[in-house]
């Protein structure tokens, strides 16, 4: 059995990712507690510079304040929910709903690229693109222009949040043709014979 097949098989046996709503500003502490209980966790973070009265300081902040990702079987959710700081598992209706594995891996890969990141509102409209160059190659998202710079936005639909990564416009190609609404058809004005 080759390494790629073994890796795929181990991913298929792993439980899905879920988004956990946790106490704000306690994401890392809750993730550490969950990891101590044997849960796999992921708290995506970005760097931000804060100005204090006497200095500038670079801090790491959660990309999704009040949320973290955890991989677990639903039969272990009671232990997870009993952890201090965990408010609930993000659900649709009454059923906890897994986060798409590809969305978690896309965010992880983009963070590993080392490019500047920042939280971004989740977008529904915009052109879907694939990055074709550099560390973000194969990443797919929505292309936007903000403050004169192009960014690819990755959305986590379950949380209705997103993350923007700055890219060079030459690094992206459209995934599909953008569907445009047909323009209003203007009928020619009726002409009257000049007298």
What is the rounded distance in angstroms from the CA atom of residue 13 to the CA atom of residue 10?
Answer: 5
Residue 161 has pLDDT above 80, yes or no: yes
What is the rounded distance in angstroms from the CA atom of residue 102 to the CA atom of residue 46?
Answer: 20
> CATH assignment of 1-98?
3.30.70.940
Residue 123 has pLDDT above 80, yes or no: no
Query: Where do you find CATH 3.30.70.940 in the chain?
Result: 1-98
For residues 141-170, average pLDDT: 82
Surface-to-core class of residue 83, CB atoms within 10 Å of its CB (0-12 exposed, 13-18 middle, 19+ buried): middle
The two tokens of residue 49 are 């510079």
79-121 pLDDT, tens digit per residue, is 999 999 999 999 998 899 999 999 999 999 999 998 888 887 5
pLDDT of amino acid 180: 44
- Provide the sign of the torsion angle of the four alpha carbons 37, 42, 44, 45, taken in this order: positive
Of residues 20 and 169, more confidently modeled: 20
7-39 pLDDT, tens digit per residue, is 554 556 899 999 999 999 999 999 999 999 999
* Residues 6+ positions from 151 with CB-CB distance below 8 Å: 120, 143, 144, 145, 164, 165, 166, 167
Query: Where do you find CATH 2.30.30 in the chain?
Result: 100-176
Q: Which CATH architecture has domain 100-176?
A: Roll (2.30)
């Amino acid at each position: 059995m080759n390494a790629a097949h073994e890796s795929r098989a181990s991913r298929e046996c792993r439980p899905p990712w879920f988004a956990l709503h946790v106490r704000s500003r306690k994401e890392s502490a809750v993730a550490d507690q969950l990891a101590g209980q044997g849960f796999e966790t992921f708290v995506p973070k970005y760097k931000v510079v804060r100005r204090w009265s006497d200095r500038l300081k670079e801090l790491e902040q959660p990309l999704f304040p009040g949320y973290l990702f955890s991989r677990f079987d639903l039969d272990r959710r009671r232990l997870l929910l009993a952890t201090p700081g965990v408010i609930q598992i993000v659900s649709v209706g009454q059923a906890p709903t897994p986060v798409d594995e590809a969305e978690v891996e896309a965010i992880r890969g983009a963070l590993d690229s080392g490019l500047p990141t920042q939280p971004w509102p989740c977008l529904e409209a915009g052109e879907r693109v694939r990055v074709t160059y550099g560390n973000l190659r194969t990443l797919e998202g929505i292309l936007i222009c903000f403050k004169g710079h192009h960014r690819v936005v990755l959305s986590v639909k379950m949380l209705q949040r997103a993350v923007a990564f700055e890219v060079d416009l030459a690094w992206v190609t459209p995934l599909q043709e953008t569907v445009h609404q047909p323009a209003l058809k203007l009928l020619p004005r009726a002409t009257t014979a000049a007298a």
